[in-house]
A and B are shown apart, each in its own frame.
Chain A
Amino acid sequence: MDLETVARVARAARISLTEEEAERYRRDLTDILDYFKVLDEAPDGSSAGVNPVEVADALRDDEPRVCADAYAMLSGMKTYDGYVRGPRLS
């Protein structure tokens, strides 16, 4: 893995890296991906599911319900006039 890829991945993950860190993660990830090469030769199962046991058709009825105390949840957040405060949009 090259530094450019590390930088691109870090940007996608919203993590800033110093040059020293980028180099260290580059080395670590390269080692790890080398170690993962064995995957290429691994056989496939007959059907790959999303979960290790079949989880199917778990559905909820369309019944609206107040399920939590919105006030209690918002009390742990930065708010203004009932809105949650967030960073600048651009």
Chain B
Amino acid sequence: MSPDRLAEINARYHMFSAISPEIPEDAGFLFSAKDNLTSAGMETKCGSRILEGYVPVFDAAAIERMKAAGGALVGKTNMDEFGFGTFSVNSAFGVPLNPFDPERSCGGSSGGSACAAAVLEGHVSLGVSTGGSVSCPASFCGVYGLTPTYGRVSRHGLIDYGNSLDKVGLLSADAPVLGRRLAEISGRDPRDPTSCAQPELSLSGKRISSVAAPEEALRGVSGAVGEAFKASLDRIRESGADVETISMPSLRYAIPAYYVIATCEASTNLARYVGMRYGRQDGDLSLGFDDYFASFRTEYFGDEAKRRILLGTYARMAGFRDRYYAKALRVRAHIIESYKEAFGRFDAVATPTMPFIAPRFSEISAMSPVDSFAADFLTVPPNLAGIPHLSVPCGYSEGMPIGLHVSTDHWREDLLASFAEDWSESFKAERAGVGQ
């Protein structure tokens, strides 16, 4: 695939924010990476104007390891600014269009990655999930999306959104690729302490034999999604696994706990963008530093970034910190405990991935911030708990894909890898777009 051909495809779907000038003919495989993973010598912008011109001096660990495994990086994928969004509409560099219907969203925030995985043959894309940013676009674009356990893949070179939540994941239309590439990019990395807690990944081929379906998961999903989910549970039963409905009342606390922790951490991470050292630096240095910093942040952060910075700054201020930030950490611990309890009895927890099919852009612009947050109610809980999860295509409605979401206990990506392979053999997913 030549850069020119890629540029043609990109003109149609806007999945890339940058395309590599050269793509070696003899590469073992081609991959792309979400634009919040640093790429040495290649501009990395995170969907934000404030980072325009930032050319990192180092590759993110995940990119480094993909290259070491024989991969060639073909481009950086478009995303919501700093990962702030569910539909990839919050990017300063164009909005990726859904390959099944260009009037609809690819999902977010790794929308460009899901689009590339759906459209390009044999492609794999590195995505990043904080609260569902791999699963959501995988579901909307009809591809497989695997998010490993927090800490499984080194975050060295990942431009932070929420450091206690961010995970590098994989998107591909080709299910067996997920496990293989995960084995290559995971492992301890002394440059990221949070990667050093992991036990070794062993892809034993062990299968999921029991699945819990929380009844709370079907409240508020569309009729088509509910039908597809029930059909998926039947398919799992047919494969020989036990499926049982359970109750996980703690799930309803996940969204607020997640948004508090994520925005608190994000507002500290984004404090560094002040028009000095990297990204945009074209301001008037004779301004006092407070005014100088504010001028950049006001001009170059987008609307959603500002909203989340304000929310996070508020939730960690003395006087509010205990009610929001400290409380959210304790609630996260509670939610992790309820998952552990479920995993004491079942191998996996299954829900739909998103409560609806990919919405039209016209529908998205009518959504309030709370509507957007609420759309993540199924993908946020496993992300908050740091447990690995997988979205697989499981049905279609109005010609648009629907996703099934499967989560397992910490460090049990092996069960998800084998599930993805088995699923791809029994469920024939439809492909969209231009292919080669």
The A24-48 residues at the B interface (CB cut-off 8 A) are 25, 28-29, 31-32, 35-36, 38-40, 42-48
The verdict on A32 contacting B288 (CB below 8 Å), with A39-B327, A51-B164, A53-B149 known, is no
Closest chain B residue, CB of each to CB of A8? B317
Contact with B256, one of A25, A38, A49, A86 (Cβ below 8 angstroms): A38
Question: In residues 271-287 of chain B, which contact A (Cβ within 8 Å)?
Answer: 271, 274-278, 281, 283, 285-287
| Distance between Cα atoms of A49 and B331 in the complex (Å) | 11
**A77 beta carbon closer than 8 Å to chain B:** yes
Report the minimum CB–CB distance from A48 to chain B (whole Å): 4
| Residues A36 and B294 in contact in the complex (CB < 8 Å), given A45-B332, A56-B197 | no
A66 lies within 8 A of chain B by Cβ: no
- CB-defined contacts of B314 to chain A, threshold 8 Å: 1, 5, 9, 29
The residues of A that contact B326 with a CB separation of less than 8 Å are: 48
Residues A43 and B334 in contact, CB atoms below 8 Å apart:
yes
Q: Which of A5, A53, A84, A85 has the largest number of chain B CB atoms within 10 A? A: A53
Whether, in the assembled complex, B293 has its beta carbon less than 8 Å from a beta carbon of chain A, the answer is: yes
Report if A10 contacts B (CB, 8 A).
yes
**Which of A46, A47, A50, A53 contacts B410 (CB under 8 A)?**
A53
When distances are taken between beta carbons in the complex, the residues of chain A under 8 Å from B292 are 87-88
Residues of chain A contacted by B190 (CB below 8 angstroms): 60
Q: Assess whether A25 is in contact with B310, with CB atoms less than 8 Å apart.
A: yes
CB distance A90 to B288 under 8 Å? Answer: yes
Tell me the bound Cα distance from A21 to B103 in angstroms: 29
Q: Does A69 touch B at the CB level, under 8 Å?
A: yes
Q: Is B257 an interface residue (CB 8 A)?
A: yes
Q: CB distance B253 to A38 under 8 Å?
A: yes
CB neighbours (8 Å) of A14 from chain B are 271, 274, 290, 293-294, 297
**Do the beta carbons of A52 and B310 come within 8 Å of each other?**
no
Assuming the A-B contacts A28-B307, A48-B329, are A9 and B317 also in contact, with contact meaning beta carbons closer than 8 angstroms in the complex?
A: yes
Partner of A32, one of B196, B250, B301, B370: B370
Q: Which of B297, B324, B337 contacts A36 (CB 8 A)?
A: B324
With A48-B332, A77-B277, A88-B285 as given contacts, are A15 and B370 in contact (CB-CB < 8 Å)? no
A32 to B327, CA, bound (A): 16
- Residue interface mask A49-70, B partner, CB < 8 A = 1: 1111111101010000000110
Which of B51-59, B60-68, B86-94, B427-435 forms part of the interface with chain A? B51-59
A36 touches B256 (CB 8 A): yes
Contact A47 B333 (CB under 8 A): yes
Collect the chain B residues with CB atoms within 8 Å of residue A12's CB. Answer: 313, 317
Closest B residue, CB atoms, query A90: B288
| Residue B385 at the chain A interface, CB threshold 8 Å | yes
| Interface membership of B259, Cβ < 8 A | yes
**A→B interface (CB under 8 Å):** 1, 5-6, 9-10, 12-17, 25, 28-29, 31-32, 35-36, 38-40, 42-56, 58, 60, 68-69, 72-73, 76-78, 84-90
* Residues in B lying within 8 Å of A, measured CB to CB: 53-55, 57-58, 149-151, 164-165, 190, 193-194, 196-197, 250, 252-253, 255-257, 259-260, 267, 271, 274-278, 281, 283, 285-295, 297-298, 301, 306-307, 309-311, 313-314, 317, 323-324, 326-337, 368-370, 373-374, 384-387, 410
